[in-house]
Structure 1
């Protein structure tokens, strides 16, 4: 294994969608030269127009969009974007053949010690690297949206990935200020999105059945488990719910009812009626507010919650 850098100077970002824009802003804020590869003819104008929104909500405080833009290089082709960089972060659409072609090109042009990372939320690393001589070279570095703010990055390795490559990915994300979690086994959807999907399924069921509205459901979450989970995870929360006896007491006394309660959860169809119900309520609540305004509100709140939780852990 070729020795890897202890400092990082440059990174390539493939794509200019929402996730890619978050990485671009964060990488530039950390002082990296960011080479951008995009199929958009207006990539430069698109990124330049979007940068102020992301620059205003960086975890360490607002940055000057012009200073970030000065660190961006819009490469004429993919090979030029990845040649000589320390890290490649791919953000193409969730199309396996497309991503396989991209990583084949990337592996041929990038330095042998460059980290090859994918932001995919659905595809497994062994599939992404299947066309390479060394398939284990491709790792998943799945962020939680928005990636320039939310700390989590799920690191998923392939069967043949060298442990030192996993360690290098973890080191890079920590250097960025992220919280990387290495999955012990590659599973579809990874972890965070599986948890989110489970909650979304029951949320849709409850709204579809008329138990609550979209607004009320969101308020239930933000006023209860949302704020709780900002400081303790589910297992830790139920450990505290068990009193002095902890999780052991909670499971021994209430665990027998879990399967029964799970059987009562909904499994709603995502049919036309369901979609129309959800969208009508969402449109009435926040659908008319411009995306940029909603995103800015979310980002301010998210940064405030993360900062407050960090201060509480230090006390």
Structure 2
């Protein structure tokens, strides 16, 4: 299909994720129209862009990109006027998102993709109250910080055609994203389901007194996390099988999958468990503010992405193999 250039992006909802989308769109050379019912969101957006911009400059800006090419409104109709891509970032409540998306669908031209940043709601549910062009309402789930992490999970609903998903891929590639088209609808999509499994197990380890939050994070940072940055889960295990690869690994270690090493359901969030997780996390923060920790994270991710891109050039064709 014909490529449609994305020159103006409408950001609906200016929380952490929406502000991250705004910064990424600006760094990609787009104009941004940001919309939030709270007038105070404008000041928060300005601060968020200023905070993100040094990392984006280090990563490399698109020609003509400027941090001031945005304006703010509390009116959705004004926000979507002239937009080539609309990104919805309302709170994660199904009925609320359905109402917001139905309004955007009624206001925006039928050819404009409307992506939802939902982390778990199925697109068919999101499309349920849209009357004009429900198929163009898709899941476009990013990862925080959106302005640095390139993965976006795209999921179509019952009304979405392959052509619309292709249009979505083209649009998000123009924002420097790496689209991963999820083959079918499922709550939590792909990445969040994987992260939630690890999160549930981590909570059990704290709850059972096996490890502190700091020890668990160290196990990820200095062990599996380093390998996952380059190879992910399956290729890592493929190497674990030696020269015979994955088949040998499954023959050797497959029986261990039947052992009770993991607990699939999360533990009850008792006051005691909450206190231990909070106290552990605050100990790890060591008095540093969230802003300080975010700056440290962004500096690390900026350098790490440079390494990943040097060693995984084939990621350019990632979406074609999913």
Mapped contact 1:100–1:128 kept (Cα < 8 A): yes
The equivalent of 2:19 in structure 1 is: 21
Quote how far apart the aligned CAs of 1:61 are: 3.0
Quick one: distance in 2 between partners of 1:59 and 1:312?
22
The residue correspondences of 1:141-180 to structure 2 (distance < 5 A) are 141-180=140-179
The equivalent of 2:305 in structure 1 is: 306
Mapped contact 2:3–2:167 kept (Cα < 8 A): no
CA deviation string 1:163-197 (max 9, x = no partner): 11100111111222211111111111111111111
Mapped contact 2:106–2:130 kept (Cα < 8 A): no
CA deviation string 1:112-158 (max 9, x = no partner): 21111100112111111101224322100000111111111000100
From 87, 104, 117, the equivalent of 2:102 is 104
**TM-score normalised by length of structure 2:** 0.91
SS of match in other structure, 1:232: helix
The equivalent of 1:282 in structure 2 is: 281
**TM-score normalised by length of structure 1:** 0.92
CA deviation string 1:266-307 (max 9, x = no partner): 842211111111111211221631111100101111121121
CA pair 263-49 structure 1, distance change in 2 beyond 3 A: closer
RMSD: 2.0
The equivalent of 2:134 in structure 1 is: 135
Quick one: distance in 2 between partners of 1:113 and 1:95?
26
The equivalent of 2:235 in structure 1 is: 236
Query: How many residue pairs align between the two structures?
Result: 310
CA pair 117-314 structure 1, distance change in 2 beyond 3 A: closer
Gaps of 5+ in 2: 315-322
Quick one: distance in 2 between partners of 1:228 and 1:12?
36
The residue correspondences of 1:60-71 to structure 2 (distance < 5 A) are 61=59, 68-71=66-69
Quick one: distance in 2 between partners of 1:99 and 1:169?
19
Quick one: distance in 1 between partners of 2:306 and 2:153?
21
Quote how far apart the aligned CAs of 1:314 are: 4.8
| Greater alpha carbon shift after TM alignment, 205-214 vs 30-39 | 205-214
Quote how far apart the aligned CAs of 1:55 are: 0.9
Mapped contact 1:48–1:69 kept (Cα < 8 A): no
Mapped contact 2:5–2:84 kept (Cα < 8 A): no
Mapped contact 1:13–1:90 kept (Cα < 8 A): yes
Quote how far apart the aligned CAs of 1:224 are: 0.6
1:292 corresponds to 2:291: yes
CA pair 266-169 structure 1, distance change in 2 beyond 3 A: closer
The equivalent of 1:184 in structure 2 is: 183
Mapped contact 2:8–2:32 kept (Cα < 8 A): yes
The equivalent of 2:272 in structure 1 is: 273
Quote how far apart the aligned CAs of 1:78 are: 0.3
The equivalent of 1:45 in structure 2 is: 43
SS of match in other structure, 2:144: coil
Quote how far apart the aligned CAs of 1:102 are: 1.2
CA pair 227-269 structure 1, distance change in 2 beyond 3 A: same
Gaps of 5+ in 1: none
The equivalent of 2:197 in structure 1 is: 198
Quote how far apart the aligned CAs of 1:212 are: 1.8
Quick one: distance in 2 between partners of 1:50 and 1:209?
38
Quick one: distance in 2 between partners of 1:59 and 1:236?
32
The equivalent of 2:121 in structure 1 is: 123
